[in-house]
Structure 1
Amino acid sequence: MRMLAYGSPADSFDDTYRMAESIVLETVKQFARTVIAVYESDFLRPPTASELEIILRVNEARGFPGMIGSIDCMHWEWSNCPTAWHGQYKGHKGKPTIILEAVATQDLRIWHAYFGLPGSHNDINVLHRSPAFDDLAEGRRPQFEFDVNGNKYNMCYYLADRIYPDWATLVKSYSEPISLKERVYAERQESVRKDVERTFGGLRSRFRIIYNPGRLWSQSDLNDIMRVCVILHNMVIEDERNLYNNHQEFEMSSDPPISQNRDVPEISQLINSSTKIRDKATSNRLQRDLMEHIWFLYGNDAGPFANRQGRQEHGTLR
């Protein structure tokens, strides 16, 4: 736990615990594998149907009906990456990294974690390889209908940044908002989407081992370290939630996880579901409807800003 929490070198425990560096490293690896085997099914899983209802209710109150979380990627530097692999693992960071894709909610709980792709990938490449939408495509996720601006939708969505593709299950911001409606929507979307970035910050500050460059030689060991940190992070979130009773509805649910049914659907069903998930027209329509919905909720708050902007354009405000 000290290595995970403080990121200390393995040989720094020699004087305190009388343990050799090799024994410390093997103990940490075994601890990670044990925690994953025992607790992964409870603390790193998709939300149950009742938990999804609560998540939807919370996000609807924030102005985004049908939103079930925010998705983004984080890079973990790998200092001991083999030299022959540097071309594969070096990306825009300039150093070898491994990517974590995660979905998080407002309470910083991580509901989906996909780790292991080389740092030369971008968020789009990771999305195409991750199992984030497998449950939806295979019909294992319950259907929720919601209304936005008078239109009905039956697929929930994640908030994402501008690099992500125009899918029906992803809602992005405007890269260059022009009208006041677009500016208000972009500001609100980017504010709520910060959930996943705050989660990454909390995860890295709580477990300094993934804040510092990874010093292990095996990628599978790094995978175990990242997974155990995510599981322990979710344990802390659950414990703090019960301690402060901020979200009493989110107590440990007895419902089975949604993804327990592993029946393979027909190939035609998979194709149709994937087509609906990647429908660009639905994505654009949902974004416009959400913009109108956000404007209805928060447009009055932008009144003074609109007046100032108008006077600036006419040269009456300096």
Structure 2
Amino acid sequence: MNNLWDQIRRSQDEDDEEMMATNAIVMAAVAQESGNQHRGRGSHPGRAPNEERFREERGKDATGKVGLLPEQKMTAALRMLAYGAGADQCAEYCRMAKSTSVAALQHFTRGIVDLYSTKYLRAPTAADLRQLLTKAERRGFPGMIGSIDFASYDTWIWHAFFGVPGACNDLNVLAKSPLFDDLTAGRAPLVQFQVNNRAHNLGYYLADGIYPRWATFLKTVRNPTRPKEIKFAKAQEGYRKDVERCFGILQSRFGIIRGAARGWHKEDLRYIMLTCIILHNMIVENQRPEDSDDELESDDEEDNNMRPRIAEVWEGPTDRDFDPVGRDAHHMNGFMDRYQQIRSKQCHSNLQEDLIQHFWEFQGNRRI
């Protein structure tokens, strides 16, 4: 028995010696290989040397010091936009001075606006209007484009106007906004729809009580009493809130909008706001399903035949005999006719009454 234990111990000792010899050979090989390589500044023994990323491509100052990486400046700008962090808070994370962080945000916002404003801050085209009108018609509001306060049904922001001095209530902003300039000048696409056996030639936006009674606004019914008015008011207010949630989404994505202005100049605030809107529209476009004309139709063929599309959009100006607005009487008369049509209280009342009846006929038996 003792001889057996002696053999086992000798076998274990031999295995240990063999393992130690193998480890020594491996360590010597690693040490030799690391000694042949150039160990970069900041790396530790046994690790790969630091990569000299873009050190030859980046600029240098008068003392020969290499500048900051573009990734550092982009990270600082995005952190300030997304988290609402101050410029001094980016110093520790991005290794940048406060003035450099501010300059990086200024260059980033101006670059985004210059590159992408034509695509992501454009007015809706005829194809966009067809899609918006089809979605709205499914909810019982034919001819509706979106909400005047903010966006369309998918939270895409079509119109951004801010920076008005003085009391910035809805009426003062509307009076200075260029939202209806193209429509008044006759350069907007033509939208026509028929509701309750009456034709309407202007698309409209959902609005709350402070807005005027224009033909381009659809307001809720104040103190509704009849069942059809109650159902219409609930649907109009509910759909308007679905659209206006967009500003809450925008604030949740970009913390710089939630906080104070932090002493930014007016021009910087304008570019910051436009950049946040452009990036928001990029996210909406990326998450939007690829809708086609076939997908916008109902799955039921009989339903499509019984309820044809009510709203139609045509390319070109709203006035078939459109001429550029000039100082002569002929051109000015057409401009004033469109101006009065947009601000017509009678057209607003007719639109509201027709849609109340239309919504009651098509949505009265459905649960909203």
**Of the two, which has the highest radius of gyration?**
2
1:297 to partner: Cα distance: 2.0
1:20 to 75, 89, 97: 97
* Match in the other structure for 2:363: 298
Residue 46 (1) aligns with residue 123 (2):
yes
Maintained 8 Å contact 1:70/1:195: no
Return the alpha-carbon distance in structure 1 between the equivalents of residues 316 and 246 of structure 2: 22
Are 1:267 and 2:332 matched, yes or no? yes
Quick one: distance in 2 between partners of 1:27 and 1:70?
Answer: 35
Q: Which stretches in structure 2 are left out of the alignment for 5+ residues? A: 1-77, 294-314, 318-322
The answer (yes or no) to whether the contact 1:185–1:295 under 8 Å persists in 2 is yes
Q: CA deviation at 1:269?
A: 2.4
The CA deviation string for residues 57-97 of structure 1, in whole angstroms up to 9 with x for no partner, is 1111110000011111xxxxxxxxxxxxxxxxxxxxxxxxx
Q: Secondary structure at the match of 2:93?
A: helix
CA offset at residue 246 of structure 1?
Answer: 5.7
SS of alignment partner, residue 272 of structure 2: helix
How far has the Cα of 1:298 moved from its partner? 2.3
- Cα deviation for residue 196 of structure 1 reads 3.4
Paired position in structure 1 for 2:186: 139
Q: Is the 1:185–1:291 Cα contact (8 Å) retained in structure 2?
A: yes
Matching residue's letter, 1:284: S
Pairing 1:159–2:206 present? yes
1:119 deviation in Å? 6.2
Give 1:300 shift: 2.4
User: 1:32-181 maps to which residues of 2 (within 5 A)?
Assistant: 32-72=109-149, 102=150, 104-118=151-165, 120-181=167-228
Match of residue 249 from structure 2 = 202
Determine the C-alpha separation between the residues in 1 that align with 2:280 and 2:316: 19
- Which amino acid in the other structure matches residue 247 of structure 1? D
Say if 2:343 is the partner of 1:278. yes
**Aligned-partner residue type, residue 129 of structure 2:** L
Structure 2: how far apart are the matches of 1:44 and 1:283? 28
Residues 36 and 264 (structure 1), Cα distance of their counterparts in 2 relative to 1, 3 Å cut: farther
The 2-side partners of 1:111 and 1:293 are apart by: 27
Shift of the alpha carbon at 1:121?
A: 2.4
Between 1 and 2, higher relative CO (CA 8 Å, sep ≥ 6) is seen in 1
| Larger displacement relative to structure 2 (175-184 or 162-171) | 175-184
- Identify if the C-alpha distance between structure 1 residues 48 and 179 changes in structure 2 by more than 3 Å, giving closer, same or farther: same
* Residues 147 and 206, structure 2, Cα contact 8 Å, conserved in 1: yes
What is the aligned-residue RMSD (CA, Å)?
Answer: 2.3
1:222 to 269, 273, 292: 269
**1:10 is matched with which residue?**
87
Structure with the largest fraction of strand: 1
Cα distance in 2 for residues equivalent to 1:115 and 1:32: 17
Q: Matched residues in 2 for 1:58 and 1:301: separation?
A: 17
- 8 Å CA contact 2:154, 2:243 repeated in 1: no
Q: Determine if the alignment matches structure 1 residue 247 to structure 2 residue 294.
A: no
Give the Å deviation of 1:168.
0.2
- Which letter does structure 2 place at the counterpart of 1:298? Q
Between the aligned residues of both structures, percent identity stands at 46
Kindly state the Cα deviation for residue 174 of structure 1 after the two structures are TM-superposed.
1.4
